Structure 1
Amino acid sequence: MTGRLWPRGLRARLLLTFVLVTVLGAAAAAWSSAGSASTALVTSTERRLTESIAGQIGAITPQLTYPPDQDALDRLRAAVGPDTLVTYRNLRSANGADTGLVTAALRAAVRTRKRLVAQRITAGGRPWLLVGIPIVITGPDGARTPSGIEVYAVRDLTGVDRQIDGLAWSAAGTAALALPPAVLLALLAARSVLRPVRELRDTARRLAAGDLAARSPPQGADELAELTVTINEMAESVQTSMATMRRLQADARRFAADVSHELRTPLSTLTAVVEVLATATAGMEADARESAQLAITETHRLVRLVEDLMEVSRFDAGTARLRREEVDVAGAVRDCLRARGWLDRVDLAAPEEVLLRLDRRRLDVIVANLVGNALRHGGPPVRVAVSASPEQVRIEVTDGGPGLPGDVVPRVFDRFYKADAARVRTPGSGLGLAIALENARLHGGDLTAGNARGGGARFVLRLPRNLEGA
């Protein structure tokens, strides 16, 4: 709940934090001042009332007779004022209903301490000050003797309470007055702090979009300036590394293209020689025939590798082009399997006719790579299913083998990647699935790898119906 209430944006959080700190600081200062003033007001009022009562008593006591009679108590009570209670043993003089607020605790304190005692209480929802004073007789020799007369005065502090409430409202008003300047200062602070942050954000976005020359000029000498310098250094390092990587990739692609091109002529000659050699193996000795067959197999493998490298080079150079024509996809898949002698080893499920404008040769390459991979590395049964919808044509190739390990799936389309490091002498070049993926993308489609629900590897080719823009 707290996470939903607290703003997520840095600007909003900075503004809110600054305003809260400023307003709370102003409120705390105002409240502290109001508390101090309230305490001082109560103390001064209590001192003023007690001094006034003590003065009034001091002015009348010389006129009293001891022991006092009722008349003396009445004169003393009248001199102190309303809401006053005067007692002497069994005699009592009271004026005002509020004298009933005098507590037994106050009387006990006056008799015990034999000096002025003040007590603040709340009764009827109103604050009161109770003052108790024992009258002491001072003899000619200076000895002080309790006279037994006790004066109790009750004073209403409601006026003081209102003044305290006024101080509290004044503190709240002070805190409220601090809000507009706090917001203004927060806006100014947020603007000055967040400007370099926004510039860093824009620079990071440009870097993420591929503009490796993007930089942010450092401003000042604070932590944000240090961060800006660090990001600029990082961008410089990334730009240098990317330039070096692109140069190395371009050199590698050019090297592969050049080598493949240069190998075509000698390989053509070598292929012609091995074809002649293949016709003569029947009359050879067993060892010589085995060596000849090995040379023929490796030559054909080398030819396929060079052809695949040439194809990859065309993809890298962006020169690969589609030769679109109206093709029956189901028939093209069936022809691919028939041409390689796989019809009796593969279960094909396809409708009678699925027409699509595409490059027939490249579709043949995709299907041949997927089915050949399933036959070599998977297990029976190998199934090919062709289906169509108004949006796309889908070709799914599955096998009954152990399937693809989890760490293999993300890399299965990488060039020259082999899941089993020990299986290095396979008929394939290690480029088949990579070429199949490039051909699928060239058609505007996609090729994905995974595992079937019942086990075994599963490759799905998706070709969109609308290939006019491909």
Structure 2
Amino acid sequence: MVATGAAAWSSAGGASAALVSSHQQRITEGVAVQIAEAAPQLSYPPDQESLDRLRQAVGGDTVVTFGDLASLHGLDTSLIPAELSTAVRSEHRLAAQRITLEDRSGLLVGTPVMITTPEGSRSPSGIEVYTLRDLAGVEREVDGIILAAVATAAAALPLAALLALLAARGVLRPVRDLRDTAGRLASGDLDARAEPQGVDELAELTGAVNDMAASLQESMATMERMQADARRFVADVSHELRTPLSTLAAVVEVLEDATEGMEGDARESARMAISETHRLVRLVEDLMEVSRFDAGTARLHTEEVDVSAAVRDSLRLRGWSERVQVEAPDRTPARVDRRRLDVVVANLVGNALRHGAPPVRVLVLALPEEVRITVTDSGPGLGEEVLPSVFDRFYKVDAARTRTPGSGLGLAIARANARLHGGDLTAADTGSGARFDLVLPRRAEEQ
């Protein structure tokens, strides 16, 4: 559009300049011819009558001067520019200059009258002729040219805009399609593909994106199959181990009753076997719980529960009431799964007692739409490198502590239980210990 306008303006300017130049040349040539025809009939030195005849021969608004003599008609000598009179009087040449009057524009032509001797030499006669020619006609022609250029540009601009839009659409449509495809891939739609258009670099880029999407889709499918196989393997192994472990646990209980009558080394070996058997049972139970979450078979069995009383019962059953400070309202009713709430509270408080330092505090806060349970300790806390992974499965803060009582699944199971209720479990470092915040809706929907 800019190019169209510039071309129209340039062509109009060029045509106008050429028209004005041609018109000026015709005027100056005409004046020169008129003077040349009238000059032989002049007497030298000329008198007033000769100057009048020359002025009449030139016609129009003209001034003819010779020394103190002058013949004037319609032209004020004050309008003659100094540059023009210098060219005529001192340089003895024909000159022209455009001037603008109040109501019109004109071309002022000035020329000396030259005397030609029989030998052919030329010398100035001292007669100067200045005549004003009207340029109104040529200006009307210039205005017509400009108007035609504007009309042409106005007619061409819509076509130029249409062509520009079509060209931009042809270029930008593949870009938009590719952008939309990338957005769908980023949102998880691995079936998204863009249709290559043409054979240019953009089509090659589209093909590369499609190949990347296909490779990503295949990799994700393989990974999902591997994860499904791993989950199925864990579930199957846990299920197969449950029965023999139940038998082993029963045997261990009998063995535990008999350890007091054993010798020193035998007693220590028996106690170690008992401890490791209990740990293995807990690990298998945690693995089975994780497999239920992965399979989507974990279900809530909600009931009206006094959360404050449930927290105190969980601590009392495990013998922690004397070691933990509880701040809770007398009654905090909420509809939750009592068993899963007990699992979460036991896990958070147990971690605080094992890995933190006293005092360990449990704060129960009743809000209009939710219940918040906060567990804090005064231990070393959770560093910045620990917080992102604290809820990962089998994660332990100290990788060297491979024989700790926990399985590394407790916090992952606790968060899964919280989210099963429609709530969440978060961790933070207070600067003087660790803090875990459990948020549960007051009315969890049974699943």
TM-score, length of structure 1 as denominator length: 0.87
Determine the structure 1 residue equivalent to 2:289.
Answer: 311
How many angstroms does 1:353 deviate by? 1.2
- 8 Å CA contact 2:422–2:440 kept in 1: the answer is yes
Determine the structure 1 residue equivalent to 2:409.
Answer: 431
**Structure 1 segment 246-257 matched on structure 2, within 5 A:** 246-257=224-235
1:235 aligns with 2:213: yes
Structure 2, gaps ≥5 residues long: none
Determine the structure 2 residue equivalent to 1:150.
Answer: 128
Q: Rate the CA distance shift 1:466–1:169 in 2: closer, same or farther, 3 A.
A: farther
Q: Rate the CA distance shift 1:226–1:270 in 2: closer, same or farther, 3 A.
A: same
How many angstroms does 1:121 deviate by? 4.1
1:463 aligns with 2:444: no
> What is the identity, as a one-letter code, of the residue corresponding to 1:279?
D
- 8 Å CA contact 2:307–2:334 kept in 1: the answer is yes
Secondary structure, counterpart of 2:226 in structure 1? helix
1:357-413 per-position Cα deviation (integer Å, ceiling 9, x unaligned): 221110111111122222233333322221222222221222233433233323221
Question: Which of 139-148 and 258-267 deviates more?
Answer: 258-267
1:329 aligns with 2:297: no
Determine the structure 2 residue equivalent to 1:385.
Answer: 363
- 8 Å CA contact 1:271–1:299 kept in 2: the answer is yes
Question: Which of 31-40 and 253-262 deviates more?
Answer: 253-262
Determine the structure 2 residue equivalent to 1:18.
Answer: none
1:141 aligns with 2:124: no
**Structure 1 segment 76-225 matched on structure 2, within 5 A:** 76-122=54-100, 124=102, 127-197=105-175, 199-201=177-179, 203-204=181-182, 206-208=184-186, 210-225=188-203
How many angstroms does 1:281 deviate by? 4.0
- 8 Å CA contact 1:101–1:154 kept in 2: the answer is no
Q: Rate the CA distance shift 1:409–1:108 in 2: closer, same or farther, 3 A.
A: same
> What is the identity, as a one-letter code, of the residue corresponding to 1:119?
Q
- CA distance, structure 2, for counterparts of residue 334 and residue 319 of structure 1: 29
In the alignment, which of 48, 53, 56 is matched to residue 75 of structure 1?
53
How many angstroms does 1:83 deviate by? 2.6
> What is the identity, as a one-letter code, of the residue corresponding to 2:440?
L
Q: Rate the CA distance shift 1:201–1:92 in 2: closer, same or farther, 3 A.
A: same
1:7-26 per-position Cα deviation (integer Å, ceiling 9, x unaligned): xxxxxxxxxxxxxxxx1111
Question: Which of 244-253 and 399-408 deviates more?
Answer: 399-408
**Structure 1 segment 6-17 matched on structure 2, within 5 A:** none
- CA distance, structure 2, for counterparts of residue 415 and residue 256 of structure 1: 13
Q: Rate the CA distance shift 1:248–1:160 in 2: closer, same or farther, 3 A.
A: same
How many angstroms does 1:320 deviate by? 1.0
How many angstroms does 1:246 deviate by? 0.8
How many angstroms does 1:140 deviate by? 0.9
Secondary structure, counterpart of 1:113 in structure 2? coil
1:269-316 per-position Cα deviation (integer Å, ceiling 9, x unaligned): 333344344334445555554444433333222221111101001111
- CA distance, structure 2, for counterparts of residue 293 and residue 350 of structure 1: 39
Q: Rate the CA distance shift 1:161–1:343 in 2: closer, same or farther, 3 A.
A: farther
Question: Which of 331-340 and 422-431 deviates more?
Answer: 422-431
Percent of aligned pairs with the same amino acid: 69
- CA distance, structure 1, for counterparts of residue 157 and residue 284 of structure 2: 76
> What is the identity, as a one-letter code, of the residue corresponding to 1:308?
D
> What is the identity, as a one-letter code, of the residue corresponding to 1:347?
Q
- 8 Å CA contact 1:98–1:154 kept in 2: the answer is no
- CA distance, structure 1, for counterparts of residue 433 and residue 130 of structure 2: 103
How many angstroms does 1:249 deviate by? 0.3
> What is the identity, as a one-letter code, of the residue corresponding to 1:459?
F
**Structure 1 segment 443-458 matched on structure 2, within 5 A:** 443-452=421-430, 455-458=432-435
> What is the identity, as a one-letter code, of the residue corresponding to 1:457?
A
Secondary structure, counterpart of 2:90 in structure 1? helix
- CA distance, structure 2, for counterparts of residue 113 and residue 371 of structure 1: 114
1:298 aligns with 2:298: no
1:414 aligns with 2:392: yes
Question: Which of 317-326 and 29-38 deviates more?
Answer: 317-326
1:185-217 per-position Cα deviation (integer Å, ceiling 9, x unaligned): 344445544554454455445545544334344
1:269 aligns with 2:247: yes
Q: Rate the CA distance shift 1:58–1:208 in 2: closer, same or farther, 3 A.
A: same
Q: Rate the CA distance shift 1:67–1:285 in 2: closer, same or farther, 3 A.
A: farther
Cα RMSD after superposing both structures: 2.5
> What is the identity, as a one-letter code, of the residue corresponding to 1:464?
P
Question: Which of 403-412 and 199-208 deviates more?
Answer: 199-208
Structure 1, gaps ≥5 residues long: 1-22
1:226 aligns with 2:204: yes
> What is the identity, as a one-letter code, of the residue corresponding to 1:466?
R
1:369 aligns with 2:309: no
Q: Rate the CA distance shift 1:90–1:289 in 2: closer, same or farther, 3 A.
A: farther
Q: Rate the CA distance shift 1:224–1:147 in 2: closer, same or farther, 3 A.
A: same
- 8 Å CA contact 1:398–1:456 kept in 2: the answer is yes
- CA distance, structure 1, for counterparts of residue 384 and residue 149 of structure 2: 67
Q: Rate the CA distance shift 1:178–1:466 in 2: closer, same or farther, 3 A.
A: farther
> What is the identity, as a one-letter code, of the residue corresponding to 1:342?
W
- Aligned residue pairs, count: 447
Determine the structure 2 residue equivalent to 1:6.
Answer: none
